[in-house]
A and B are shown apart, each in its own frame.
Chain A
């Protein structure tokens, strides 16, 4: 599904990613772990098409297409979804309108008709309930005045509605208490399928107790320095990142 080859990325004049390789297949869950400043968020942002990053070398192919040539909204319509580390508050735009506009944009791109208003409401209410969110959230402005946990749940709600193929979770566990973390993890686990892949970018192993990865990669100084199975995360938890950077 996703092939990242020898990717190098600059922010300004500083090289952040220094030859990153990663291959993700449908049905897999990959965890990207690493110390602060390793380039984890840069990787999420470059995948989602955020401006401000200069790709200086390498390639990203997604479903055999050149992902880097697509504007952010086309990536989203093609099934790439970024759950933000810091979801943006948007005054005056209701959650329900964003969800509907987004869903229709994705459907239109895929040759489907606009969603029926009643079907949409039934669907969105069911997904909201599944995430233990009050229906009132649908009619509030996007993320405005939401707690940290509510914002992250809202990201998962959007993900559940859009049913993307490639889900990138950027530090989704940050700022969550245990209860919120469990709800978010349940939401993600419910979306696991053989057609869908996940990349979880995280500093801590905590999230991986709830969402079990198939692969764990360590990102340090702009490269993946070690890959392994779920057990690698436990090793990192125990030893920290220092031993890898020295190697």
Chain B
């Protein structure tokens, strides 16, 4: 199917991508992350096929939207009837006007992964929640990878005035599968609307992951994001939020790197108008030769007075070879704002380890308990009970006996 307006976007993005390729680490926003290994892999584009689907693709939630290798699978999905939700390919047919008016509008600054996505996305989620409508149960977007390929997906999420929803996005694959997830979401949170988005990235240990979330928040709109970066050998997450007057944004994150994992978390909060509130809290635990990156940037525009913003990044380095590059940045052009940021990098507290040992707990378990506790602060923020339990169990698998089941 060829749609002329989309073809224009695709062609433009394709020619841009042909010029730049995936981002070079000579670019400031990419200086800690070298993605050259991805281009060398020369993954083909994913094809639609009847791939076997394993257990992980079944959703634990009432509503789920399943993408197998980047293609919507209606048979595995269960979608709410009360709102407009369908694949982006269906939306191109049935909601063309609305989609066209929003497509590519949340992305204010592009790079190679986004261009590649625009040029090549195979499918994705389209969701439109009308004014005053509330999606009362969470909708889970389930990505399942079975092919050794590039899986580009594109979502467009639109919440009109006073609408409310919770989305959960999970990425998983069969063990040992090598592929590139390339997922871009454009999100429009209307006036006084409220969206919570959870992302649980547990790609295979040989997978590459790029996930970009670009959010436009209207006046008084609330956006809450919880980002769990657990899997993949090399993962980059982008979250960019543009806030209008009195909009509120909360970004929470947890990255757990082991072996040779490289987990990059790039966030940017743009306060474009006055009276906005933003809270950002990211925690990282890195062991073995793993490397973590936190780049948090909060920009307050010249006329955006009375902004209240806090950013905090805390890291645990559990081995001598683990590494964290952390760069919190405040860029403030207004003069009447309340902004703060803090960073810590440290190891487990020796006194705490000894205290647990003195109660009969062996050193390895003591370390798991303390590490689990550090991470669990982020898991505790999950308000969907079934999701909290499943992330809790993922954490427990990494740090056995770190907490009571």
Contact = CB atoms under 8 A, between A and B. Distances in A.
Interface of A: 48-51, 71-73, 75-77, 81-82, 84, 87-88, 90-93, 97-98, 100-102, 105-106, 109, 141-142, 158, 162
Contact of B360 (A87, A93, A97, A102): A102
Nearest to A158: B359
The 3 closest A-B pairs by CB, nearest first: A92-B373, A102-B359, A76-B360
Contacts of A90: 352, 355-356, 370, 373
23 contacts: A50-B354, A50-B358, A51-B350, A72-B358, A73-B360, A73-B362, A73-B363, A73-B366, A75-B358, A84-B355, A88-B354, A88-B355, A90-B370, A92-B373, A92-B377, A93-B370, A97-B403, A98-B359, A101-B369, A101-B404, A102-B360, A109-B360, A162-B360
Contacts of B357: 49, 71-73, 76
A103 to B, nearest CB: 8
Contacts of B352: 88, 90
A58 B404 CA distance: 41
Interface string B383-405: 00000000000000000010110
Interface string B215-230: 0000000000000000
Given A73-B363, A97-B404, A48 B369 contact: no
A119 to B, nearest CB: 15
Q: Name the residue among B349, B355, B372, B403 with the largest chain A CB count within 10 angstroms.
A: B355
B354 A51 contact: yes
B196 interface: no
B361 A102 contact: yes
A72 B374 CA distance: 23
Contacts of A158: 359
Given A97-B403, A97-B404, A101-B369, A92 B376 contact: yes
B351 interface: yes
Nearest to A83: B358
Interface of B: 349-352, 354-363, 365-366, 369-370, 372-374, 376-377, 401, 403-404
A92 B366 CA distance: 13
Contacts of B362: 71, 73, 105
Q: Name the residue among A48, A87, A109, A142 with the largest chain B CB count within 10 angstroms.
A: A142
A73 B373 contact: no
Contacts of A75: 358
B45 to A, nearest CB: 44
B404 A100 contact: yes
Contacts, number: 81
Contact of A72 (B354, B370, B377, B403): B354
Contact of B359 (A71, A91, A162): A162
A138 to B, nearest CB: 12
B354 A105 contact: no
A142 B370 CA distance: 11
A223 B19 CA distance: 79
Nearest to A168: B358
A82 B356 CA distance: 11
A77 B370 contact: no
Contacts of A88: 349, 351-352, 354-355
A109 B360 CA distance: 9
A11 to B, nearest CB: 15
A109 B362 CA distance: 11
A155 B391 CA distance: 32
Contacts of A50: 354, 358
Nearest to B404: A97
Contacts of B403: 97
Nearest to B380: A92
A70 to B, nearest CB: 11
Contacts of A97: 369, 403-404
A102 B373 CA distance: 16
A49 to B, nearest CB: 7
B361 A87 contact: no
A86 to B, nearest CB: 9
Contact of B358 (A48, A92, A93, A109): A48
Given A90-B373, A93-B369, A76 B359 contact: yes
A91 B348 CA distance: 12
B358 A82 contact: yes
B395 to A, nearest CB: 12
Given A73-B363, A93-B369, A98 B354 contact: no
A34 to B, nearest CB: 23
